[in-house]
Structure 1
Amino acid sequence: MRTLVRSLVAAVSALVLPGLALAGPMLENFDYPWVVKRHALVSQQKALEMAYMDVTPESPNGRTVVLLHGKNFCGATWGETMQVLLDEGYRVVAPDQIGFCKSSKPDSYQYGLHTLAANTHDLLTAIGVEDPIIMGHSMGGMLAMRYAVQYEDELSGLVLVNPIGLEDWRAKGVPVVTVDALYESQLQTTRDGIKAYQQNTYYAGEWRPDYNKWVDMLWSMYQGEGGEITAWHQALTADMVFNQPVVHELGRIKAPTLILIGELDNTAIGKGRVSGEVRESLGKYDILAEETASAIIDSKLVTFPDLGHSPHIQEPERFHDELLKGLSGL
């Protein structure tokens, strides 16, 4: 019955939104801005494939930037940033993490930031990337920080774009829920729900037509029978993010770090499970930004007081100007 309902929802969505390609859980019909390659690896005794883009600039400057996507994002979301970096001579690598987007979604997998970091390190070793600048957004920022701690001698710099995990939601009173409960919640995902969340959190209440592409990218993975696969992995990774905050280890990051923060962001995993004063205390990125910069030994903070969770999408020109200036100092 559940599969039938999801199939009917997909059919209705195709009628209502004729421009939406029903990509499925592997984003089969969603085009990436550059050729997608595949890296074979073995993790947790499973043969997996990690999708990634690896693009060389026309005039290389000898440095590589590795772009790590967020939980509701994919490597493709970095397209505009990739072009800016390529124009400046950087080699750019943008992987899809295991469990996300065009990469493998194994039947069973114990997700951990340390595991995703190891998978990323395996990819970079295989394609000959040494001493990269690791740049992450949202969950990708969390992962970038884990990578910087785990492989502290194997990166030349760190860039954090509105990372999550800068506060311990459990310690602040957000209750833990089971993966089963998270999965049931994910099964209720709708396009309207995705858009409303992104509008409020990613873009500080504003909306432009070009944002719809990223709504449809995420929503398309929930379509048809394969939507249950997406819902399951979204639940597993939500559990990982909630239970593995990086805030307690910020002082262990030794790499020179550029922190780029849209201060109107209010992301806080699980905030829907609390109310009142507890909820009001969560996701205060104007405060979290300062606390994070103080905790990371060698860091520079740049804030965008009028932007939300995704400043690189909301105001790309202004964001990229600050990014390039910051990269020159790493």
Structure 2
Amino acid sequence: MTPGVRDPLIPRRPQEPEIASPSSARTDPVRVEVRGLTKSFGAVRAVDSLSFTVEPGQVTGFLGPNGAGKTTTLRMALGLITPDGGTTTFNGTPYARLDEPLRRVGAVLETAFHPARSGRDHLRVYAAAAGLPAARADEVLARVGLGPAGRRRAGGYSLGMRQRLGLATALLGDPQVLVLDEPANGLDPEGIQWLRGFLRHLAHEEGRTVLVSSHLLSEVEQTADRVVIVGAGKLVREGSLAELRGGAGGGTVLARSPQVVQLADLLAAAGATVAPSGPDGVTVSGMPTEEVGHRAFTAGVELHELRAQTSGLEEVYFRLTAGQEQYAAGVPAQTEGTTR
């Protein structure tokens, strides 16, 4: 751009006093409450009386099969779709009634930009519309690792770079709440690792409220503090990962002993559910590890191994959402005479 020539992509604004930095608009920690949210499209009930809470200082994963109503829920929360019933509030206030919403809630539901505009100018347009200083664009570009690419045309960005540009847009107003829909799409392993640490820092160190919708279950397991699982538009389960594992029946104890028959009998007599696990072991459910060890000790039963077994998020997720997929693929029949 020629020096001294005004950039036509940046809206002209009247002279005004210097704008306060976004940090001056930071609010107290924000609790997001979804209560009875409902939405139908014709005969299809996309979201059905959905209620859950997103706490400040935590990363909350928002999970569910395709067609479960996740994106519709996020759009209703941000006022992009009018619900048939129910509310979403940010410390008691609906999004539409928030003062300076960009400074309160940052969202990435999809990344849209003019392909001929640089990433920096894309952000400066949003900053100008929100009454933020133009310098804020460079600050958030640097924060998401796009500083060196900020003057390049966004049309030439990779999918991962576009995701980072969307995240930078959400951070422009230094909001207390971040709502992100599939933010790891297109990121390479290094980018996914960076995003994991970045989101946890925003929540744990800076006290922000972070809601992340994702299909990457292994990544959610490493990032999220709490999980909300939906299916067919309804809440299936919400809670910490430990609570979900326990509530889904995923917590068991493995015990091995040369006196395995005696061990199984005494645990079953105490009300535990006991199943064989190899020639000298049992899998115990309905009894914590400490109690299994204590009962074996007091009965004089020798233990060679005693450890808790917990299901991973993926196993818990599929157990809870079984049968709620919008489209379920069958297992193809193997044709006679074919090889694999």
Using the size of structure 1 for normalisation, the TM-score is: 0.27
Higher helix share: 1
Say which one has the larger Rg.
2
